[in-house]
Amino acid sequence: MQKGMTIVYGVKSGLYVNLTNRCPCACTFCIRKNADKVYEEPDTLWLEHEPSFSEVRAAFEAQDMSRYTEVVFCGYGEPTEALDVMLETAAFVKEHYKIPVRLNTNGLGNLINGKRIEPLLEGLVDTVSVSLNTSDVENYLRVVRPGFGAESFESMLDFARECKKYVPNVVMTTVDTTISHEDEKCCAEICRGLGVSYRIREYSAPDEGDSSKGTVSENKSTLKDTDAVVETETGTVSKPRSQLTTLCYIEKGDSYLMLHRVSKKNDINHDKWIGVGGHFERDESPEDCLLREVKEETGLTLNGYRFRGIVTFISDGSEAEYMCLYTSDDFSGTLIDCDEGKLEWIKKADFMKLEHWEGDAIFLKLIEEDAPFFSLKLVYTNGRLVESVLNGRKL
The binding site for ligand SF4 (CB under 6 A) comprises: 23, 25-27, 30, 32, 77-78, 106, 229, 232-233
Closest CA to 155 of 86, 109, 197, 102: 109
d(CA 167, CA 129): 11
Nearest to 294 by CA among 346, 335, 354: 335
Round to whole Å and give the CA distance between 30 and 306: 48
Name every residue whose Cβ is closer than 8 Å to that of residue 393 and which is 6 or more positions away in sequence. none
Which residues have CB under 8 Å from 365's CB, separation 6+?
Answer: none
Select 16 or 380, whichever has its Cβ closest to ligand SF4.
Answer: 16
Identity of the residue, 205 or 385, whose beta carbon is nearer to ligand SF4 in the bound complex = 205
> Given the complex with ligand SF4, which of 106 and 269 has the nearer CB atom?
106
Closest CB to ligand SF4 among residues 132, 170 = 132
CB 21 within 8 Å of CB 135: no
Q: What is the dihedral of CA 143, 144, 150, 156, to 10 degrees?
A: -130
Least Å distance, CB 145 to ligand SF4, is: 8
Closer residue to ligand SF4, CB minimum distance, 27 or 268? 27
In degrees rounded to 5, what are phi and psi of residue 342? -105, 125
State in angstroms the smallest separation of the CB of 140 from ligand SF4: 11
Q: Cα separation of 128 and 313, whole Å?
A: 24
Task: Please report how close the Cβ of residue 313 comes to ligand SF4 at its closest, in angstroms.
Answer: 32
Query: In terms of CB distance, is 201 or 377 closer to ligand SF4?
Result: 201
Instruction: Indicate if the alpha-carbon torsion angle 210, 214, 216, 222 is positive or negative.
Output: negative
Q: Are 157 and 192 in contact (CB under 8 A)?
A: no
Shortest distance, position 80 Cβ to ligand SF4, whole Å: 11
Kindly report the backbone phi and psi dihedral angles of residue 107, in degrees, each rounded to the nearest multiple of 5, phi listed first: 80, 10
Least Å from the CB of residue 27 to ligand SF4: 3
- Alpha carbon 193 to chain centroid distance? 11
CB-nearer residue toward ligand SF4: 236 or 318: 236
Would you say 234 or 327 has its CB closer to ligand SF4?
A: 234
Nearer to ligand SF4 by Cβ, of 131 and 245: the residue is 131
Shortest Å, Cβ 96 to ligand SF4: 28
Query: Which alpha helices (H) appear in 244-344, and where do they start and end?
Result: 286-298
Q: In angstroms, give the least distance from the CB of 47 to ligand SF4.
A: 13
- Taking the complex as a whole, how short is the minimal distance between the CB of residue 23 and ligand SF4, in angstroms? 3
CB of 22 to ligand SF4, least distance (A): 9
Q: What are phi and psi of 367, to 5 degrees?
A: -65, -45
User: How many CA atoms are closer than 13 Å to the CA of 278, on its beta-carbon side?
Assistant: 24
Written as one letter, the residue type at 143 is V
